[in-house]
Amino acid sequence: MSTLSALHGVRSVLVSNLFVKLPVPKSSELSNHTIIVTGANTGLGFEASAHLSRLGVGKLIMAVRTPAKGDEARKKLLKLTGQPDSSIEVWPIDMDSYDSIKTFAARASQLPRLDGVLANAGIMTEHFSLSEGNEKTLNVNVISTFLLYLLLLPKMRESVQQTGYACRFVIPNSALHYIVPLAELEPTNPSIIGRLNDPEKANMGGRYPLSKLLVIYAVREFAERSSASGKGLCIINTPNPSFCKSNLAREAQGSRGFRVAEKLLARSTEEGSRVLVHGLLAGPETNGQYLSDCHVETPARHVTRDWGKQVQKKFFNELLKQLEMIQPGISSNI
């Protein structure tokens, strides 16, 4: 990482959390819309779902790993917003299981329309473990998220053709991508994903921010390639809710330093969720973009300079290869 990028990242968090008041989401056009939120039963996913329900979304699908917890969250939302029971459904999905994601996507492909997906489910851990053959943070935050995206992309485009409304696919990001250690991404490595899956070399202390940097690379590449395909626009963006009170960083919550920082700097979970809902409602100018404080923001120099562009291409090609092994032919959906 460059010193300038690191300073910009720190400044971004301080300015955003101390001085920026985020707008409360507003929309009067959601009564016919269907929107999916993964990880919807808690934290940012729950608060984003609450905003969407309050705005009167026609069908909110709360996609959760544990249906019983999803049912509890659904009841709470209905009580909070006063919307009809039929407006919210709970569907199971485990973002750590490719079969679960495939089953979910097949079900979602039968919906009459699909107007937005908030791919909120993610993990933060400093402990190395493998799932589906890949390091777990990489698998859940990146590979599985884009597996869901590509599996749903034909349905999202079909919906655009039927309704004239471009579907949004939104993946939460983080200003931590400005300060991520970059050694694991050197394009001279034979394989970026292979390097990240090596338990002897993995830098798990920097793995969560690195996963968010990889999301930016993939979002930029998917936006460019899907737009060039001529198959129809589906907006994909990656907004940063900034440092928020949530359960994501539960491993760090026991430290005194974290508790002090959270008390002084962290946004409420509700406020952070406003950024995610903005991404779901934002226009085509956000396609392929990193967002912060509800507007397009320039990402780190290790995204925009030549080195980053080289890494982006290399990682994207490896990601597509992984996705092809999971679901042969999936790259044709682009």
Q: How far apart are CA 40 and CA 118, in angstroms?
A: 9
Single out the catalytic residue among 98, 149, 208, 217.
208
Owner of token pair 């994903």: 193
The H or E element spanning position 69 is: helix 67-81
Structure tokens at 300: 């780190």
What sign results for the dihedral spanned by CA atoms 271, 38, 323, 131?
positive
List Cα–Cα distances, 92 to 66, 67, 103, 242, in angstroms: 7, 6, 9, 28
Query: What torsion, rounded to 10 degrees, do the Cα atoms 197, 199, 201, 207 define?
Result: 60
- Is 149 annotated in the active site? no
The pairing of strands 290-292 and 34-38 is: unpaired
- Is 212 annotated in the active site? yes
Are 239 and 276 within 8 A, CB to CB?
Answer: yes
Q: How far apart are CA 187 and CA 168, in angstroms?
A: 31
Which of 124, 156, 152, 131 is closest to 39 using CA atoms?
A: 124
Structure tokens at 247: 């359960």
Q: How far apart are CA 311 and CA 213, in angstroms?
A: 11
What sign results for the dihedral spanned by CA atoms 263, 22, 43, 178?
negative
Amino acid at 210: L
Single out the catalytic residue among 136, 212, 245, 314.
212
Active site (catalytic) residues: 208, 212
